[in-house]
Amino acid sequence: MSLRIFYSPIFREHRPEGYHPENPTRLDYAIRGLSENGLWDEEKILEPSPASPSDLLLIHDGEYVERIRGLEGSFSYLDPDTYVSPGTWEAALSAVGAARAAVEAAVEDRGLYLALVRPPGHHAGRSGRAFNASTLGFCIFNNSAFAAYTLKERRGRAVVIDFDAHHGNGTQEIFWNDGDVVHIDLHERDIYPWSGYEHDIGGRGAEGSKVNLPMPHYSTDDDYILAWMEIVLPVLEETKPDAVVVSAGFDGFLGESLTTLRLTERFFRYAGATLSRYPLAVIFEGGYSVGLMRALPAFVKGYLEGSVEERGIEPSYEAIRTVKTVLEIQREFWGI
């Protein structure tokens, strides 16, 4: 099973003035975690070509793209969370290009293709903030949505799994009425961006193509493994995808400070292993410290090794209840 990483130093050129959790050091953490696990060497690294501004119009509206382009060259804040710096425009175009390259490589050849990109993307909707979110949540253009769009163009449909600790509201908004894009999203409930609840199943004609798992605060590996076993894997099996786009955030890892989730290597290794039968385009989203050093390599190793230790799980009552609710709602659309 092969691993290739689309990466460019240009992704460091999107940088804050002063302290901000979404900064170039995140790439150092990710590279350190991969290196320490023997997953980073020069042969695996590929330089992505940037997307063109007109490519962006496939997932964003022209006014939003021009607004970002117009900020090129100086530092400003789009909203209280999200900055644009002199290198942002080029970094963001290359991030979208890397997402496209990863999904194209995944459909051509089995294996895991990681787009190790900044700025992140899954909160960016068609024209910026999605579903009335308060901010863009550090995101500029939606890299995962672009990967999903590319996959759908090639194969007629696409599947996205988003396990970032926050709801992938931008991706979901972009494909809300598109039943050919199945989007399964696990995230902590009742935190930013305050969307992605059980009854959010997609727009008219696309019902059931959006599967939201708003997990309880303080969820553990066992809670996430339950949701993964009961819902993510059966839905995935039923769609029989040629390749899967993973919107991969590692901010649910224990010790990451933006959420209360308490995931460890165990969940991420398990998730990677269970996806090893599918070619993957893994698009880098959140994760700000220890999750990048530990959860990212655990996910990749799980995928490459392809097996998981069988062990019983003890999910919380709240997690069981959430999974049951989702099963009851989605049963109308899926054989689950």
Q: Which residues bind Zn ion (CB under 5 A)?
A: 164-166, 249, 251, 286
Q: What is the CA radius of gyration of the chain?
A: 18
Shortest reach from residue 122's CB to Zn ion, in Å: 8
123 is catalytic: yes
- CB nearer Zn ion, residue 164 or residue 221: 164
Catalytic option among 123, 167, 183, 187: 123
**CA 223, CA 233: separation in Å to the nearest integer?**
15
Shortest-Cβ-distance residue relative to Zn ion: 286
Quickly count helices (H) and strands (E) in the chain: 11, 12
- CB nearer Zn ion, residue 123 or residue 301: 123
SS3 of 132-199: CCCCCCCCCCCHHHHHHHHHHHHHCCEEEEECCCCCCHHHHHHCCCCCCEEEEEEEECCCCCCCCCCC
Residue 252 burial (10 A CB sphere; 0-12, 13-18, 19+): buried
Shortest reach from residue 136's CB to Zn ion, in Å: 12
- CB nearer Zn ion, residue 50 or residue 119: 119
**CA 277, CA 315: separation in Å to the nearest integer?**
26
Shortest reach from residue 285's CB to Zn ion, in Å: 6
Q: Do the bridges between strand 244-248 and strand 210-215 make them parallel or antiparallel, or are there none, so unpaired?
A: unpaired
Shortest reach from residue 7's CB to Zn ion, in Å: 20
Angle at 107 between CA 201 and CA 39, to 5 degrees: 100
- CB nearer Zn ion, residue 157 or residue 187: 187
**CA 190, CA 215: separation in Å to the nearest integer?**
9
Shortest reach from residue 252's CB to Zn ion, in Å: 8
Structure tokens at 109: 């050849």
Secondary structure of residue 332 in the 3-state scheme = coil
- CB nearer Zn ion, residue 206 or residue 246: 246
Tell me the catalytic residues. 123
